[in-house]
Structure 1
Amino acid sequence: MKQPVGVILAGGLATRMGGGDKGLLPLGDSTLLGQVIDRLRPQVADLALNANGDAERFCALKLPVIPDSVEGYAGPLAGVLAGLDWAATIGADCIVTAAADTPFFPCDLVPRLQLTAEGMEHPLVLAATPDPERGSARHPTFGLWPVALRDDLRAALQNGIRKVVMWTDRHDGRIAMFPDEAAFFNVNTPDDLERAEAML
């Protein structure tokens, strides 16, 4: 399997943070988004940011900014589709997605997703952590996605599918288990941002 390219999902509305670009909030000596970039960049062959609105506000990051092609803030799957379409233009086979508000995800995210995907015709894997009640909890913004299924995903979105696992289950998507649930801690509120500062 070729090294995938990375897509950071930052297309949400950040309503619980009061709106705006949550990823640009300061964290440590950087920003939420800066922390995510530093963690994902070494694991992928190339990197882009999925975000809507004026791309100029991210110009300091020196990343391609790819908006959703589906209107109306259709959720993470719209960002995945935008990433797959971008990946197709640069000749990549797969993308790995990470959320812009989750700064502590594993430094071995990509190789473990790839290992879980071995033997699949179309590598489709979501990250997961143990859950005492359900056995596992999937983290649908962290996954390995094949470019080959982008038209299928486009059709699903056009037909109203919004829930990530509804689509991945259709294609026998797998899960890659990560032992540390805190690794996927995401910042949704000002209190979460304070907690992230403490975790740093």
Structure 2
Amino acid sequence: MIPIKQITGLILAGGRGMRMGQVNKGLQAFKNEAMVAHVVRRLSPQVTQLMINVNQDTDQYAQFSDYLVGDLIPDYAGPLAGIHAGLSLCTTDFLVTAPCDSPFLPLNLVEKLAEALTQEQAQIAVVITAEAETVSQELGTRWQQQPVFCLLRTDLKSNLETFLNNGGRKVSDWYQDLKIVEVAFDHSADFRNINTREELMQFATDADTHTTKAASN
């Protein structure tokens, strides 16, 4: 198993929040506090150090982490640019990532990803979730990848930098040439992203019911 002291956490908050009216999603109020505060509270006990990738509103984000990192690739190049920025400053052997708009992420996220990455000797462990809680026996379970919830080796920095410099932007495209292991989590709602103001209101009541499911996962 990978010791926690070898794992740094990175919260991805470097986007422009287009679907929420061009605001910084992580700073939007959710259950009476910034949405990123929920992510920090759930991810920080699972890692030795926590960074936040942010390209604006750094003064406001400073209250949530002493380690803020901006994109090194210009023009809001997406979550891979944030991961690249995190890898550039990471001093541990592994980096785990999660978006700032995922206030329900499970408290055993890192544990399960680290176990799978070690067992499969992979470069990246990525979350997959069932598309529906109930599926037909004939079709079986259909799994959906959650690509920005991942644990990766920090020696992938040069590989990612080359991919970005060649114009690559999609996380799934970068994964194609790497050894990845997909890690199934039973509760897809734990990885719900809140992208609009309507969803902020709709899912606020869910925050009280989302406690750790480590025993059942």
Task: Using structure 1 for the length normalisation, give the TM-score.
Answer: 0.93
Match of 1:34 in 2: 37
Q: Percent identity between the aligned chains?
A: 32
- Cα offset, 1:29, TM superposition: 3.6
Query: Which of 188, 192, 195 is matched with 1:188 structurally?
Result: 195
C-alpha displacement of 1:63: 2.6
Given residue 202 of structure 2, which amino acid in structure 1 is its aligned partner?
R
Q: Kindly report which structure 2 residues correspond to 1:143-158, keeping only aligned pairs within 5 A, or say none.
A: 143-158=150-165
Q: Distance in 2 between matches of 1:67 and 1:191?
A: 28
1:124-152 CA-partner distances (Å, limit 9, x unpaired): 01111013688211111110011111001
**Larger Rg belongs to:** 2
**Contact 1:122-1:148 within 8 A present in 2 as well:** no
**Root mean square deviation of aligned Cα:** 1.6
Amino acid at match of 1:165: S
| Distance in 2 of aligned mates of 1:177 and 1:14 | 28
> Match for 1:49: what amino acid?
I
Tell me the TM-score normalized by structure 2. 0.86
In structure 2, the partner of 1:173 is 180
Contact residue 2 and residue 93 of structure 1 kept, 8 A: no
- Deviation, 1:54, is 4.8
2:167 aligned with 1:160: yes
CA 1:47–1:21 in 2, change beyond 3 Å: closer, same or farther?
A: same
Whole-Å separation in 1 of the counterparts to 2:40 and 2:64: 9
Q: Which stretches of structure 1, 4 residues or more, deviate above 6 A after TM superposition? A: none
Contact conserved, 2:124 with 2:150, CA < 8 A, in 1? yes
Number of matched residues? 197
> Within 5 Å, which residues of 2 pair with 1:57-72?
57-72=60-75
Distance 1:122 1:178 in 2: 18
- Write the letter of the residue equivalent to 2:203: A
Return the alpha-carbon distance in structure 2 between the equivalents of residues 102 and 182 of structure 1: 10
Structure 2, unmatched stretches of 5+, are: 208-217
Asked if 2 retains the 8 angstrom alpha-carbon contact of 1:22 and 1:32, the reply is: yes
Instruction: For 1:1-200, list aligned pairs within 5 A.
Output: 1-3=2-4, 4-87=7-90, 91-121=91-121, 123-131=123-131, 135-200=142-207
